[in-house]
Amino acid sequence: MKNKFSRRDFLKSALAMPAWILDSRTPNQYRPRFTVLTPKGQEPRANIMVCIFLRGGMDGLNVVIPHGDADYYRLRPSLAIAEPDSGKDTTGIDLDGFFGLHPALRPLKDIWDDNGLAFVHAAGSPDPTHSHFDAMDYMERGTPGEKHIPTGWLARHLQVAANENGSPFRAVGFGTLLPSSLRGPVPAIALQSIADFHLGGRYQGGEVDEFQTAISEMYAADPTLGGRADFTFGAVQLLESVVSGEYQASNGAKYPESEFGQSLKQVAQLIKAEIGLEVAAVDLGGWDTHVDQGSLAGNMPGLLADLSTSLAAFYHDLGDTMKRVTVVAMSEFGRRASENGGQGTDHGHGNVMLTMGKSLNGGKVYGQWPGLSPEALSAPGDLAITTDFRSVLSELVSKHLRNPALDQVFPGFTEAQMLDLAKKYKNHHQAEFFSGYAFIFIICWGPPPN
């Protein structure tokens, strides 16, 4: 029996669909044009950026453990991960004789051995705040200590990166709200589900027309929303034309059923569909581990298992496409070097950043290690920062995203330190639609801070 598209269905579908962000004051040159995509056989002008933010203040010292620093074990008698011991699943996984991975990150070890994974330790924002909200805001704006610039760093990259990509899927954030890093004059989509985006295949023919008519009438009430209506229709129609049926991952990759795993699965689906994706942002939350953080089992190890299995599935699913995909993961700040009385860690400063892709100089932990001795710690007992997070992002933006306008992406930042982390851009793919590097940016969010 054929479904009838009721008013209730319309409202339900509308609520399930993403929020389209397009300021009514947006200049005409930034309004969407759905037919201007890179011609077949022409080298892509710019790259894709997919951002994943690990929100809540991830404890980088228990992610990439400095097992070669004796002070690590002095400061964490209960939470420290044991030094690597070959053949044991309960110890760290050695990387270079000084640093090692948490055991829950074992799915990433093969990627490390493939030179597809690299870390930058003692990295972060130079602003000293221990407030989740301020720290995240500064990092997503790309302007530590400054809030007068209303746009996000990814949005500014898109704004100044000249190209002919008019796809409505140029920038996508997974979730109910658009991440601050994507907020700016270039249209971006907040997407919860690809299936919900094009009505999940439940409605066809006249029922879809009825839905679009209802949307048109809703937008017609306010003439200033005409651009948003065009953006909405174009996005739905484009996705409907290229995405259908159940997505099948390649190379035996299996994504976790978690929200994060399924979001990465949909990012891979959009990349393979080649519909103009440049930037995608994905969040993984829960890292505010003041109590019961857990060493080998508990809250944080569970999050690390989700992170590692999801990233490994993404890497193997995309295969050689990872030559034009770069993943970067970061959190708003790290945790205190010493554990607290609640078997957890308090808000800290320095942290670790993760990068993944086949166009990296991987298999290395980058950055200058400051040490964890009392005199080396940053007040009031935090891992010191020796690499500004904007240096890492600047190198990826300039080399992989081919955007030299770093002064506009990160205004006021003149001390970028190139680590030789990223290889220079190479044209790995010719496609009918816009394609290039996919850059994944991860920041972790947690429950309300204590």
Classify residue 335 by its DSSP letter.
B
pLDDT at 28: 36
Which amino acid type is present at position 190? A
* Distance from chain centroid for Cα 247: 21
Determine, yes or no, domain membership for 213.
Answer: no
SS (H, E, C) 355-383: EECCCECCCEEECCCCCCCCCCCECCCEC
Determine, yes or no, domain membership for 8.
Answer: no
> H or E stretch including 53?
strand 49-53
SS3 140: helix
pTM above 0.85, yes or no: no
Domain count, the chain: 1
Helix axes 7-16, 206-220, angle to 10 degrees: 70
C-alpha span between 85 and 87 (Å, rounded) = 6
Helix axes 259-273, 299-318, angle to 10 degrees: 20
Determine, yes or no, domain membership for 411.
Answer: yes
Mark out the alpha helices in 248-298 (DSSP H runs). Answer: 259-273
pLDDT at 118: 98
Determine, yes or no, domain membership for 198.
Answer: no
Range(s) of the domain holding residue 387:
22-193+257-443
pLDDT at 244: 64
Cβ-proximal residues to 165 (8 Å cutoff; 6+ apart), any chain: 36, 37, 38, 45, 46, 276, 278, 434
CATH of the domain at 86: 3.40.720
pLDDT at 161: 84
Task: List, as one string, the DSSP characters of 387-409.
Answer: EEHHHHHHHHHHHTS----HHHH
Digits of tens for pLDDT over the chain (450 positions)?
Answer: 444 444 445 444 444 444 444 333 333 333 333 333 444 434 455 577 778 899 999 999 999 999 999 999 999 999 999 999 988 999 999 999 999 999 999 999 999 999 999 999 999 999 999 999 999 999 999 999 999 999 999 999 999 986 667 788 888 999 888 899 999 998 888 888 887 665 544 445 555 556 556 656 665 656 555 555 565 566 666 676 666 668 899 999 999 999 999 999 999 999 998 888 888 999 999 999 999 999 999 999 999 999 999 999 999 999 999 988 999 999 999 999 999 999 999 999 999 999 999 999 999 999 999 999 999 999 999 999 999 999 999 999 999 999 999 999 999 999 999 999 999 766 654 433 334 455 555 545 455 444
Per 3-state DSSP, what percentage of the chain is helix, strand, and coil (rounded to 5)?
35, 15, 50
pLDDT at 354: 98
SS3 75: helix
Is residue 393 within 8 Å of 142, Cβ to Cβ?
A: yes
SS3 437: coil
Residue 294 gets the label, from left (phi > 0), alpha (psi -120 to 50) or beta, of left
Determine, yes or no, domain membership for 232.
Answer: no
pLDDT at 228: 54
Both ends of the chain: CA-CA distance in Å? 53
Cβ neighbourhood burial of 391 (10 Å; 0-12, 13-18, 19+): buried
What tokens were used for 255? 């994504």
SS3 111: helix
Determine, yes or no, domain membership for 126.
Answer: yes
Cβ-proximal residues to 177 (8 Å cutoff; 6+ apart), any chain: 19, 190
Whose tokens are 């992002």? That residue is 393
Determine, yes or no, domain membership for 401.
Answer: yes
Determine, yes or no, domain membership for 225.
Answer: no
